[in-house]
Amino acid sequence: MIKLHLMKNESELVLKNSSILLAEDDEGLREIFKKILLLYVDTVYEASNGMDAYELYLKHRPDIIITDIKMPKLNGLEFIKRLREKDKKTPVIVTSAYANQELLLESIKLSLVEYLIKPIKESDLTKVLTDCSRIISANVQTNILIELKNGCLYDYKNKNISINEKQIKLTAKEIEFFELLIEHRGSLVTKQTIEDKLYMYDEVPPSALKNLVFKLRKKLDCDIIKTVGKLGYMID
């Protein structure tokens, strides 16, 4: 079971608690790529060749592997083949400066998440890491919990709240409201922002949000949701 603090959505929650093994022989490129990856994940292990990459894999068992094709000592494909003898599930991304059809076809047999051509676009990287997060979630089958105060945990997967192990079910609107506050944890979320999000396509009375918050507080029976004057709400 993973207990985490604030993240914006489930994919980010998974990635922020994950590690990546980056195998790239170009030192300058590797350092730049590492800095970018650390915006997504908690830890990045570095290797300059396939042999070191395999040893780091055995030592750390990273959640995601990103490897270049052409590397000294052991190339990217040989590294992945050796990896797949032990591990069929860890998501692997291959990077290459060349769109080599033969290498592409060979790498597909190794159950890759993606074959990315350098230079890698930010949108492509975000998409492929999001895909990896889904694989990690499916493989690990953990509950992703956001730890709040007063013994309160929000289960991002099952969409419920537990307080001192007591499970509290939420309605669809309560889930939307609670996740919006969690997304902006520690900051005010204005009533207008909340109403625009929750009631975009609904015709509801002005008291709808107030009633929703009242019922949710009654369910929780603890001081988690704060009212900030007449402006809106927040969660610490």
- 149-235, what's its fold? Arc Repressor Mutant, subunit A (1.10.10)
User: According to DSSP H, which parts of the chain are helical?
Assistant: 10-16, 27-37, 50-60, 76-86, 101-108, 122-140, 172-183, 191-198, 208-220
pLDDT at 103 over 90: no
| The CATH number fitting domain 2-140, selected from 3.40.630.10, 3.20.130.10, 3.90.870.10, 3.40.50.2300 | 3.40.50.2300
**The model's pTM:** 0.60
Query: What is the per-residue pLDDT across 9-47, written as a single tens digit (0 to 9) for each?
Result: 678 878 888 899 999 999 999 999 999 999 999 899 999
DSSP 3-state of 213: helix
CB within 8 A of 231, min separation 6: which ones? 188, 190, 191
> Where, residue-wise, is CATH 1.10.10.10 in the chain?
149-235
pLDDT at 4 over 70: no
Query: What is the per-residue pLDDT across 107-134, written as a single tens digit (0 to 9) for each?
Result: 667 778 888 888 889 889 999 999 998 8
> Where, residue-wise, is CATH 3.40.50.2300 in the chain?
2-140
- Residue 104 CA to residue 83 CA, distance in Å, equals 18
- Residue 88 CA to residue 110 CA, distance in Å, equals 9
Decide if 204 contacts 190 (C-beta within 8 A). no
